[in-house]
Chain A
Amino acid sequence: MAQLILNHLTKDFGGGRPAVSDVSLTVREGGFLALLGPSGCGKTTVLRMIAGFEQPTDGSINYGERRLSDASRALPPEKRNMAMVFQSYALWPHMTVAENVGYPLKVRGISGETWRRRVGEALALVKLTDYAERRPAALSGGQRQRVALARCLVTSPDVVLLDEPLANLDQHLRKSMEETFRIFHERSGATMVYVTHDQSEAMALATDVAVMSEGRLVQLAPPAEIYARPEGTVVGGLIGRGSILRLALPEGAPRALEWPMLRAALDGAVKAGAGEAPVHEVLVRPEHVSLDGEGIALRVASCTFEGERFALTLSLPDGQTLKAYVERAVTPGETAHFVINRGWRL
């Protein structure tokens, strides 16, 4: 076990902006890193460089002391002792489930009783023992996913890469697969790198979340940290369902904003363009907005029932909108009083 280190990693496919630009990060031993970002942000390219399918144009990748790739040399994927769950699962249609799972062992020259035992163990872990002799075509999406996972398990790889593995599954199956991934991570102790554009997956699974945008690493932090203290509008907009308001705040305002200061800023917004204070972007989480007679009057633009609560869209007098979760329905068009308990200056 060792750390996976990306050092100023850059990949330029030769079309204007580099796909990945100067990404440096370290995945701790046995860590579970989620690479999060909108499509086209370069997260899959980072994953493919770690696997060895792409070679960096600058920077390097190390596993502990061992250099895996840099701009001049690259260890081929077949020599890296890594495993990957592909978005399409990449099961070989001409092999049975057991042959698929056991292929990495076969390539390593393991056969006979050892082969059977280890394939059996891997299949047992993903609860597919009864399906060993079937072909992948005869399995459902979730079962194929588990075969792909078992194939990763079987050789105890140093690093396991997961490329949007839940993208093709339905909502219900996702939840149970997330659970499987977590158990898998705990048991194997392998370093895992997980690419996704779904922030809830990233938050639920990872020990660290790396947010990427336009080829750059924007923020790297544990999930709770990144939720509470996002850096910049990209992360603020991507994590959670917050609203970003542009508010005039006094000089020296703290990052974490309380209601009195927010109220003053909102009043300032009401008296449009009054203060000289610079305009800041402030992230407000919907769960931090509440109905309160003490608050300021805002018009309710829409009200959606979401089962456990009502989601409101509120209009500020200057046209900005704000989301809020409340316990009772409010008729759209009405005005009600709201308090913003907390805000985060981006």
Chain B
Amino acid sequence: MEYGLDLEYIFNEFLKGFGLSSEIAHIIWIPLPMLLVLFAAVVGVLVTVWLERKISAAAQQRIGPEYAGALGVLQPIADGLKLLVKEDIIPAKADGILFTAGPILVLVPVILSWLIVPFGQNLLISNVGIGIFLWIALSSIQPIGLLMSGYASNNKYSLLGGLRAAAQSISYEIPLALSVLAIVLMTNSLSTIDIVNQQSGAGILSWNIWRQPVGFIVFWICALAECERLPFDLPEAEEELVAGYQTEYAGMKFALFYLGSYINLILSALLVSILYLGGWGFPIPVELIAKFLNLPINAPFIQVLTASIGIVMTVLKAYLLVFIAILLRWTTPRVRIDQLLDLGWKFLLPISLANLLITAGLKLAFPQFFGG
């Protein structure tokens, strides 16, 4: 299954044509995919913010943003510019260093996790061997940033919000990791590329969602809880805690939290589509399309077609999930903190453990369906 465009190789050969050594070419190459992915993440946030405004308006029978661009598509940019030029305030009694470091510690791990998101066979920043485990490890850093900003704000609402955020993300990380483990068990690999390739056998029929329906639901609930989206947005519950750990923040520091939470939402949607919905795979296998068009799988046309379909499919699946998340946010009430912790520890944790055990048993019983 080693096909697909290798842009890095082409780019390096192109630079070597100018007489540069391969090391220099590699150094010039390294920042390019990172910047591209950062750009994609920020554009993704703008699109998601617009969707959130429009869908929430539709859910509440309003029109929503209308005047900034056609259908208000420029509204998120206006929001961003407003936050960018606002005054940066550090409260007098706050702890300046921790207050500034908090938002950074929240945002950086989320952006780093994009390292492992593949948009195609070779379309990712780095195919690290530990793949999905890197994301689990990185997402566990976030609560430190939340606790830090909650503490540094010197405000009891902030502190409560930070403590709630940490408690929530600790309790939901375990079922999340266990449901990922069931997928890894079926794939025999932690790499996201291998996880998608293992689902690409028979198009839509071989997606993991059919083999891991329980894991899919557990993962999605936990991902929403990790993103602090509305059924689980206790850390920033407006009616009780003003805005939780964000209460004292303004301007660009607040924007970092905002950006972090939306990038995290898109990242979670992308990871659900990679783990359970076949990643960049088209519902019909590409090999069949190539056979139908009477072209070999290595033909340049098919290569470009595969890569474009891959990107479109990944983004489409991710945004379908983002749509569901937004709809959930504007139609469901918030759970109480004890209900949240009960759900995490007494329901999701046993269910994901049983799911892991059953997956292991099925893998031994039917190795051809559950990965040998």
Whether chains A and B associate is: no
By a beta-carbon cutoff of 8 Å, the part of chain A in contact with chain B is none
Chain B contacts to A: CB under 8 angstroms? none
